[in-house]
Amino acid sequence: MGGPDQGQPRKDRFAMDMDKLVSLCKRRGFIFPSSEIYGGINGFWDYGPLGVELKRNIKDAWWRDTITSRDDVVGIDCSIIMHPKVWEASGHIGGFSDPMADCRECKGRFRADQLTYIRFDLAKDDSAETKPKTIYFFGSGNAVEVAEQNAKKIGKLQSSIKPGETLNRTDGDYTTLDTEAKTLFHCPTCGKAGTLTEPRNFNLMFESHAGAIADEANKVYLRPETAQGIFANFKNVVDTSRTKIPFGIAQVGKSFRNEINPRNFIFRSREFEQMELEFFCHPDQAAEWYAYWRKARFQWYIDHGIRSDKLRLRDHDPDELAFYSTATADIEYAFPFGISELEGIAHRGDYDLGQHQQFSGKDLSYFDEERWERDKPAMGMTSFKEYLKKNEGAEKPGYPYQYLPHVIEPSAGADRATLAFLCEAYQEDEVGGELRTVLKFHPRLAPIKAAVFPLVKKDGMPEKAEAIYRELKRHFNVFFDEKGAIGRRYRRQDEAGTPFGITVDGQSLTDDTVTFRDRDSCKQWRVPAAGAVQALRDLLEGKPIPGAESPATEIEESSN
RNA sequence: GCGGGUGUAACUCAAUGGUAGAGUACCUGCCUUCCAAGCAGGCUACGUGGGUUCGAUUCCCAUCACCCGCUCCA
C-alpha cells in the first residue's frame, strides 16, 4: 500500500470514486453488505445476482486458463478445515498471531513480543536469604538493540559490582513479565511507565471446534489460505494422476482471516475467495518458471480488460522477501483508495513441502523416473539404491533424481480481482449530450452477454423478440426487456455492463433481421434473426463489429 | 484497536422537539419506430438499544455499520 495515488480522489464529472462504485454495486445488485437487515457485519459482503455472475466468470476464466486449457496443471478442492498440525507446519499458528499491547497514554500500539526487557539480578554470594536486587532495562526491538539503547547505564551497573556479588542477566519480552513487572515497563513512545495494556492476541485465524463440545483438544481453524491444502495433497496427486514434474495443482476456494481492520469495500474482508496455483518444478528450473508465471499472470489481467496504467507489476526488494522466498512479485492495481495487491507470485523454494515433510514425518520427495532411466546406463547402475549408496553422506543423496520440488505460487484474490475489474470497467461518458454510466467489462467477464428488446411493445415485436431471446438463452446468459423507452433499456444494460443489445424493430417484421448495438460505441448494425446466436458467439470470441476497424473487443491469446 | 466524520425510501439528498419531502429508480396503465421522452396512478425510509421530555427522526448516552486518518495486513 501507499503510493502517489493515495491522496483524495478527484470528484469531477467523469471521475470514478469508491462511493459511486459502491452505490452502483448496491443499486444494480452486484454487491450488498452481509446481513444488512440486521445492520451489517464488519468484513463480510454478499454478491447479488449480477455480482455473482461477474465473479463466477472471473473464476471460470482463471480456471480455464490455468487448468483446463493446459496439459500441466490439475485442479483440486480441499476442505476448509484441516488438521491443526497443517497450520503449525505452515507457520500460521506461530507467525500468524501477534500479541499486541496498547499504550493507554499515547495510544501507541506495539507488538508485545518486540517489547524487550533486560533484567539484572544483583545477589550477594554469602547471603542466600537476602532477596536479590532487580534492575530492569526496557526498550523496543531485540535484546541487542535494547542493550545498545541502554549501553551507558548497563556499563555503569556492571562496573559497580563489588567482590562477593554476582550479577545475573536475563532477557525476555513483555509477554513473559508478571503483572507487577509489567507496571514497570516504559512505553517506548511516550516513555511513561505502567501505561501498557496486557498483551492481547491478534490471531488472524478463525477458530472453531470439530465436534459438539468446545475444548482445546478439538480446536480447529478455518483455513487462512487455500495453498496448504495443495501441499498436503501433493503426494496424493502425484501418486494418482500421472502428473510429472513440472506440473501444477490449482484450487479456488474460500479462506478466512480475522483481519483487525477490514476496510475498502470488498478489498480486505474476513471471508474471501482465493485462486491459487502451486507449480512444482525441478530446483534447476524454478527461476525459469518463476519468470514464466510472473509474466503470464500479469498478462492475464491485461487480456481480461485491465488495460490502463493502473495495473502494475512490482518485484519485491530483497529485504521485503519472506525468509524462504528467493523472489516475489506483486501484481498491483491503483484503486481509488491506493495501490494495492491483486496477486502475488512467489518463488517459495521447497519451504512448504519441507515443512510438511518434517511435521508429518512423511516422505514428500519426488522421484524423476524418466531421468533416472535415461541416465542410469551411462553410470553403469541398475538400481537407484546403488546411486543412493554411492552418495551416502551427501546432503541430498538422491539429487538430481529424487528431490523436494521447488514451487512457484501465483496466489490471486478473486474478490480483489472482481473489485479491480469493476473499478476498471466503471466509466462515465456522454451519449447524445446526456451523462451515461457504463461498466465496460470484457465480454468474457460480463454478467449478461446480451439483452433482447422489442423496439416498441406492439405489432408483434415483443413476440418476435421473445422467440429470439429464448433461442439465445439456450447458449448464453441473456436478458429480455420490453418495458419503457428503448433508450432507457439500453442505459440500464450499460450500467449492468451488458456488451450487446439486440433489438427487434419494424424492419425485422418484414426482412427478418435484427439490430445489434455495441455497448461501448453505441454503434448498430443489422444481422439476420436466424443468425443471432452465431453472431453473438462471434462477437464474444472477439470477431470485429461490422464496419469497425478493430475488433469489438480484443481477446489476445494468453501466453500459455 | 485509537481519533475524526456519517447514518432519513432501492439510490442521491432535504426539512423538523409535535412521527417526514424531492429527484432518480421501481411497479401498473396509456402513449411511444432507436439511446434515461410524456401523461395518469402506485409502493418504499428516520441503523439499533437506552435516556431526557407530555411528546425524540431531531437533544444526550451506548451500540452497530460505513467513510477518512493512524495502526495492522505472515
Q: Which residue has the cell 498491483?
A: A332
Q: Protein A37 CA to nucleic acid B55 C1', in Å? A: 29
Q: What is the pLDDT of residues A32-88, one digit of tens each?
A: 988 888 888 889 999 999 999 999 999 999 999 999 999 999 999 999 999 999 998
At A550, the pLDDT band (50, 70, 90 cuts) reads very low
What's the average model confidence in pLDDT over A524-547? 92
Residue A119 burial by Cβ neighbours in a 10 Å radius (0-12, 13-18, 19+): middle
At A107, the pLDDT band (50, 70, 90 cuts) reads low
Q: What is the pLDDT of residues A3-29, one digit of tens each?
A: 333 233 333 345 567 888 888 998 899
Q: Protein A460 CA to nucleic acid B49 C1', in Å? A: 57
**Residue A174 vs residue A459, higher pLDDT:** A459
CA closest to C1' of B73 belongs to: A259
Say what percent of chain A tops pLDDT 90: 50
What grid cell was written down for A204? 488472524
Q: What is the pLDDT of residues A320-355, one digit of tens each?
A: 787 888 899 999 999 888 889 999 999 999 999 999
Q: Protein A493 CA to nucleic acid B68 C1', in Å? A: 33
pTM of the model: 0.82
Q: Protein A100 CA to nucleic acid B1 C1', in Å? A: 10
Whole-angstrom distance, CA of residue A51 vs CA of residue A27 = 11
DSSP A502: E
DSSP A67: I
Single-letter code of the amino acid located at A179? T
Please name which of A489, A499, A521, A517 lies closest in space to residue A446, comparing C-alpha atoms: A499
> Within 7 Å: CB of A214 and strand B?
no
What grid cell was written down for A234? 501433493
At A127, the pLDDT band (50, 70, 90 cuts) reads low
Q: Give the nucleotide with minimal C1' distance to the Cα of A7.
A: B68
Residue A66 CB neighbour total at 10 angstroms: 26
What grid cell was written down for A121? 539480578
> Within 7 Å: CB of A11 and strand B?
no
- Which residues are CB-neighbours of A113 under 8 A, at least 6 positions away? A98, A99, A173, A174, A175, A199
Residue A217 CB neighbour total at 10 angstroms: 9
Give chain A's radius of gyration (CA, Å): 31
Q: Which residue has the cell 459438539?
A: A212
Whole-angstrom distance, CA of residue A110 vs CA of residue A198 = 11
Q: Which nucleotides of B are covered by protein (CB under 7 A)?
A: 1-3, 7, 10-12, 25-28, 31-37, 47-48, 64-74
How high is the ipTM of this complex?
0.90
> Within 7 Å: CB of A189 and strand B?
no
Q: Which residue has the cell 439483452?
A: A451
